Chain A
Amino acid sequence: MNTPREILLRQHQAALPKLDAIRAGVVAAIVRPPAPEPISWLQMARSLRWHLAAWGAAWVVVMIFNTDHSPGAVAMIPRDKIPAPQQIWASLRESRRLLLELTDAPVAEPFAAPVRRSEIEPQQLVV
């Protein structure tokens, strides 16, 4: 007694050599995907040499354009925009006072900025 499957497979067993040939032909046409090779740092740097060169060139251009060729950067600021030293001192004193108020520290006497010797009037000088 045989199962239908056994009968069917036996009936067609003669086709096996032809099927083997077909299978071999189809499998032979498969292109095996290349195995990934370990890449060394040197190989990686070599493969990126053009990218690195381009980045370097780009940075050189940026540096050239950013370099200030004018006689002096300070000269670019108009003289009338520069605050007077008294204004700067007053601003600093105000900032200090606000800071002390915020930290609840005792507010000291306003700091008296020393007067520049050149600004002292001649009559004040004691001889």
Chain B
Amino acid sequence: MLVVAECEQLPVQQAKAGEPEAWNALFRRYQLPLYVYVFELVRDEQSALDIVQETFIAALRHIGSLREEAKFGGWLFGIAHQKCLQSWRQQNRAADMRDELAQSPPDLDDGPDQVLIRREQEEQFMMLLNELPLPQRSVLLLHFVEDFSLEEIAQITQTPLGTVKSRLHYAKRALRKTLEDQ
């Protein structure tokens, strides 16, 4: 079952109290979306699994720093994002992250928010995703996988809100163009 509940009650408070069952439920809820996000950024299965594991361990250690329990998902993805940055730095791929786009988007009219993709377009979608610059790919994944708000994405990636808007705008425009050309 791939459907992820939108408004489920997460046992964050119990996890803060150190209950293993609560952690198990939280990790089960986020393990696949987290892996998708990390894998699509690092493009290596073993590295992605390592980062997911490190993210889980870091979450266990630093759960006390989480102030708003409702933002557990964003907080967890923020840890994973930082782990990805560390991985890139270790592999000297930080230059990719400096691929900054225009700070002020000329036009943020992205059309309908929901993007639907036909079966025959799925391969092109995945190819496009891989071709996107890392910053755009990161924002688009967070938007698609967990439907984070722009503010949450800005917090996760520690990027100004305007930059997030710009990146999402260009990524979505490229995606639509690809899908329309098919």
Contact = CB atoms under 8 A, between A and B. Distances in A.
Interface of A: 1-13, 15-16, 18-20, 22-23, 25-28, 30-33
Q: Is the interface of A mostly helix, strand, loop or mixed?
A: helix
18 contacts: A1-B118, A2-B119, A3-B117, A3-B144, A4-B117, A8-B141, A8-B145, A12-B39, A19-B32, A19-B49, A19-B52, A22-B52, A26-B23, A26-B27, A27-B23, A30-B18, A32-B18, A32-B19
Given A3-B117, A22-B52, A8 B36 contact: yes
Nearest to B114: A3
Given A3-B115, A5-B4, A8-B144, 19 more contacts: A1-B118, A3-B144, A5-B145, A7-B122, A9-B33, A9-B145, A13-B2, A15-B32, A19-B35, A19-B52, A22-B49, A22-B52, A22-B53, A22-B56, A23-B24, A26-B56, A26-B60, A33-B17, A33-B18
Contacts of B7: none
In the complex, the 9 A-B pairs of residues with the closest C-beta atoms, listed nearest first = A4-B144, A1-B116, A19-B31, A23-B27, A26-B56, A30-B20, A9-B2, A27-B24, A22-B53
Q: Is the interface of B mostly helix, strand, loop or mixed?
A: helix
Given A15-B45, A23-B28, A5 B39 contact: no
Nearest to A33: B18
A27 B17 contact: no
A23 B2 contact: no
Interface string B133-172: 0000000010011010000000000000000000000000
